[in-house]
Amino acid sequence: MAKALTDRCQQILEAIIEEYIATAQPVGSKALTQNHGIRLSPASVRNVMAELEDLGYLVSPHTSAGRIPTEKGYRFYVDTLLRVSDLNTRQKDQIEMKYRRHGLQMADMLREASRTLSSFSQHTGLVMIPRLKVTVFRHIEFVKLSPRQVLVVFVTQSGMVQNKLVEVDEELSPSELEQITNYLNRTMSGMSIQEVRARIVAEMAEEKALYDHLLRRAFALSSAALGDETDGDVIIDGTSYFLEQPEFSDLRQMKNIVQAFEQKSMLVDLLDRGTDAVGVQVIIGSETQYHELSGCSLITAAYSGKRGNLGTLGVIGPNRMPYSTIIPIVDYTANLISRLLDTEND
């Protein structure tokens, strides 16, 4: 078992990581003693650095260069060394200001969140749209587009609008549609989509549905509409910040990352991992388990509405991200969004 690092080791490791985050250059022993209040000679620092390298917290890209942190180094830094401060009031106000616009719908709010995360962190902002199943049903409407096609529009409690085109076997008359609409709105309003689904399944199994033609069609229609969950969507903002990072000046890797952003599925997966966690999560480099995203780290936090967690938001950037400043931004934004979603429409 690895023995605990001495205080001095930790202090030096912290200094190295912070210096590297600031400069993106390998950190040498001399630079450290000059700028970081380390009251030791370069030689002593070198001994410590050698030790830290042995333990796997640092590597040197070549003999005559300084050291750079490994993923293990970042992990240790984030877990034990980092002390995140709160945002000051001015920063909070600046962020909050962005949401002051009147009548902001949820979708706009989330877009704004992505934008804000990006511009305040100077890295790429990510916001996951709530999955259907965690939202609360409010209203459903059917619009007949052609004899066999019905557009199902439904609105969630928070004002998100989803729509789906459903093919029906047998034409529905306007009055039938209206009855179905009324029935569903009456019985299901206020339930979560998950509950609605469960209810549909339960009622379909029951006797009475068998004999009520209209009811059966109502359930068939709504279950078709609520059926297959969309894959989850992510709002990305500030991709261009990636192009500023010296570590990605290699175009091949840059292309991998941009492609990953276009596909979104990896981001969805990564954000999903943080849905049930409380507070801020940090995923570093290979912890993503996607080689396309090697060298990338994420800082994420879940946001919630009235009924528990809705989704996750965060920032993605190089491992060498200023965690201490971004973590509070992500944290504050997630809380702010949660607050806004919780108090609205009451």
Partner DNA sequence: CTTAGCACTCGCTTTGCCTGAGTGCCAAAA
Partner DNA sequence: TTTTGGCACTCAGGCAAAGCGAGTGCTAAG
Residues making contact with its own copies (CB under 8 A): 102-105, 138-139, 141, 143, 145-146, 149, 151, 153, 155, 159, 161, 163, 165-167, 237-240, 243-244, 249, 251, 254-255, 258-259, 262, 344-346
How far is Cα 239 from Cα 248, in angstroms, rounded to an integer?
Answer: 12
If one asks whether residue 22 binds DNA (CB under 7 A), the answer comes out as no
Q: Find which of its own copies, DNA, none residue 41 binds, CB within 5 to 8 Å per kind.
A: DNA
29 vs 333, beta carbon nearer DNA = 29
186 vs 208, beta carbon nearer its own copies = 186
Q: What 8-state DSSP symbol labels residue 146?
A: E
SS3 content of the chain, % helix, strand, coil (to 5): 55, 20, 30
62 vs 208, beta carbon nearer DNA = 62
How far is Cα 294 from Cα 319, in angstroms, rounded to an integer?
Answer: 9
Q: Which member of 10, 11, 44, 194 binds DNA (CB under 7 A)?
A: 44
246 vs 279, beta carbon nearer its own copies = 246
Q: Are 31 and 19 in contact (CB under 8 A)?
A: yes
If one asks whether residue 46 binds DNA (CB under 7 A), the answer comes out as yes
67 vs 197, beta carbon nearer DNA = 67
In terms of Cβ atoms closer than 10 Å to its own Cβ (0-12, 13-18, 19+), residue 230 is exposed
Span of 36-44, 132-140, 192-200, 250-258 interacting with DNA by CB under 7 A: 36-44
Cβ-proximal residues to 204 (8 Å cutoff; 6+ apart), any chain = 216, 219, 223
- For DNA (CB under 7 A), the number of binding residues is 25
How far is Cα 119 from Cα 107, in angstroms, rounded to an integer?
Answer: 19
Q: Which member of 63, 173, 240, 343 binds DNA (CB under 7 A)?
A: 63
Cβ-proximal residues to 40 (8 Å cutoff; 6+ apart), any chain = 8, 33
Give the residues lining the site for DNA (CB under 7 A): 8, 26-31, 39-44, 46-47, 49-50, 53, 60, 62-67
